[in-house]
Amino acid sequence: MNELKYIAIVDDHTMVRRGLSALIGLFPGYEVVLEAGNGRELIKALKPDRLPHILLLDIAMPEMDGYSTALWMTEHYPDIRILALSTMEAEAAILRMIRAGARGYLHKDAEPADLKQAFGEVFSIGYYYNEYVSRRTVKAVNLLGDKDEIHEGLAKLTDRERAFLQLACSEKTYYDIAGEMFVSERTVDGYRDSLFKKLRVTTRVGLALYAFKNGLVKL
C-alpha cells in the first residue's frame, strides 16, 4: 500500500484554498493537512510530527509572501517539496521562486490533471516541468541526462557566456544585462541563443535551472 502524502496549501484567498483542498481530496493517496493565508500563518501552524510532503505556495501574499516563505522553508525544512502557485507568468517571478527553493511552478488556471501530475513528478524526478519550464530542461539540469554530455556542454561555454549566464539567473532584464556587460542588446541575444543551443534548453528559466543544478550559480 502506498504511503499517504501530505499537502499544505498557502494562499491568501480562502476560496482558492478550499477549492484546492476539495480537489486534492479527490486524488487517491493525498491528504491536505494544513491551510494558511500567508507564510507567517504557515510557520505557526507547522507540526514537526505531521509535516507536509508538498507545499503549494502562492507568490503574492500579505505579511510574508511566497519568496520569503520559500526561503524560510528551504532553510528549516529542506525535504518539503515546494510548488509555486500563482497567476504570475513573468520569468523574473518564476526565477525568483526557483532561487528560493521551489521545485516547480503551476499557474492557477491549470487543469486538475496538471496538479496531480505535478505531485507525481516532484516525487519521481524531484521537479515539475510544464510549458513554463520545458521537459528538455530535465535533461539539461542532470536529472535524467547523460553526465558526459552535460559536462561537454559546460566545457563549450566561453568566459563571456558564463558571465551572461550568471546575470541571466538574476531578475535583471536583458536590457540591464547588456548595460552591465557593456554590450548591445543584440549581443546579449547572441549569448542567450548560443547558450540555448549549447546547453539544449529553450527558456531563460531553463538556463537558470541548469546553472543552479550544475553549481555555476549559487541559490
CATH superfamily of 5-133: Response regulator (3.40.50.2300)
Q: Which residues of the chain have pLDDT under 70?
A: 1-2, 89, 129-155, 218-219
What is the model's pLDDT at position 142?
39
What tens digit of pLDDT does each residue of 58-78 get?
998 999 999 999 999 999 999
What is the model's pLDDT at position 185?
94
Measuring CA to CA, which residue among 6, 5, 35, 39 is closest to residue 20? 35
What is the model's pLDDT at position 154?
65
Listed by start position, the domains of the chain span 5-133, 139-213
What is the model's pLDDT at position 131?
62
Instruction: Quote the pTM value.
Output: 0.71
What is the model's pLDDT at position 141?
44
Strands 54-58 and 102-107, bridge-based pairing: unpaired
- CATH label, 139-213, candidates 3.60.70.12, 1.10.10.10, 3.90.1150.10, 3.40.50.300: 1.10.10.10
Q: Grid coordinates in use for 94? A: 518564476
What tens digit of pLDDT does each residue of 157-188 get?
899 999 999 898 887 889 999 999 999 999 99
How far from 193 is each of 116, 190, 199, 202, 210, CA to CA, in Å?
Answer: 33, 5, 10, 9, 15
Q: What are phi and psi of 172, to 5 degrees?
A: -65, 145
